[in-house]
Amino acid sequence: MTDLNEAYADTDADTDADTDAGPDTETGVRWANREVMLQPPGLGDAGKKAVVTLNPAPSSLIKPVEKSGAKPVLKGLLVVVVVVGVGLGAVFALRSTGAEKTTATTEEDAPADEAAPPAGEVDAGRAAQTTLRNGLLVAKTQYTNDGTYVSLSAASLEAIEPTLDFDIMSSADADTVGLGDLSETGFVMVSETTTGTWYCIAETPAGTTFGQAPELASIDTVAECAQPEWSAAGV
């Protein structure tokens, strides 16, 4: 018996007639219709040829791959994220603008006369205040012994506190504490700062009072040195 493969070999001219069916419109797969001419062995050209056509499966049986709905969902999420981001950015921008306006308004509304004094002037004022407080303690120490402020003098006060220099009111300056307006129940002391401002401290039956001025003549009596405290700025 002749092998079937030999029969196939004898039909070179008649086999493998390919017909391109083109790509399937739904799946995009390209299929080929193949017609194979088969002739049984031993029949020669007189024998009948069998034609076998190899066709792809009908396109109706091939289901296209359905596209996933993930992309539309992701696009929707991206839109939401972008919208939220833009909204938050607008809120922060509005808050920042409001803060800047508030700061600007506060600076503009501040009175010009409330500007902070120079640091050197503040330090000088605090130094003068400290000197006067120490002088007050020295005077009260002597009052405890004498029972009166009339006996206060530069010599008696310096005997109690040698680190301080005392003198009469007209001799007061940045290095010397001026003493004056003495009475049984009160007195006033003054001191000048290195920047030229004068400070005073006074003792009265009602308690201790304070004062400050650009010139000595404005605070050299108990009546003139009558403020409840020195300025908060220290000058």
Render pLDDT for 94-134 as a digit per residue (tens, 0 to 9).
566 555 555 544 445 544 445 555 666 788 899 999 999 99
Handedness of CA 165, 169, 173, 177 (dihedral sign): positive
CA distance 95 to 220: 54
Q: Which two tokens stand for residue 40?
A: 């049984």
Last residue of a domain, one of 61, 76, 97: 61
- Same domain? For 35 and 124 the reply is no
- Are 124 and 42 found together in one domain? no
Q: Are residues 57 and 136 in the same domain?
A: no
Query: Within this chain, do residues 124 and 199 fall inside the same structural domain, yes or no?
Result: yes
Residue 229 belongs to a domain: no
User: Does 214 share its domain with 126?
Assistant: yes
Residues 123 and 210 in one domain: yes
Task: State yes or no: pLDDT of 156 exceeds 70.
Answer: yes
Q: Are residues 53 and 128 in the same domain?
A: no
Q: What confidence tens digit (pLDDT) does each residue in 214-233 have?
A: 999 999 999 999 999 998 55
Task: Give yes or no for a contact between 164 and 191, defined as CB atoms under 8 angstroms apart.
Answer: no
Which of 61, 80, 100 is the last residue before a domain boundary? 61
Handedness of CA 140, 142, 145, 151 (dihedral sign): negative
Instruction: Examine the pLDDT at 35 and tell me if it is beyond 70.
Output: no
Per the structure, how many domains does the chain have?
Answer: 2
CA–CA distance from 159 to each of 50, 56, 139, 148, 202 (Å)?
145, 127, 11, 17, 21
pLDDT higher than 90, residue 5: no
Query: 23 in a domain, yes or no?
Result: yes
| 36 in a structural domain | yes
Does residue 41 sit within a domain?
yes
Domain assignment of residue 18, yes or no: yes
Domain interval for residue 192: 119-218
d(CA 126, CA 231): 10
Q: Is there a domain that residue 19 lies in? A: yes
Task: Kindly state whether residues 56 and 138 are assigned to the same domain.
Answer: no
Residue 205 lies in a domain: yes
Please state, as a whole number, how many other Cβ atoms lie within 10 Å of the Cβ of residue 118. Answer: 11
Contact between 174 and 194 (Cβ < 8 Å)? yes
Tell whether 129 is covered by a domain: yes
Residues 133 and 210 in one domain: yes
Does residue 163 register a pLDDT over 90?
yes
Q: What is the pLDDT of residue 192?
A: 95
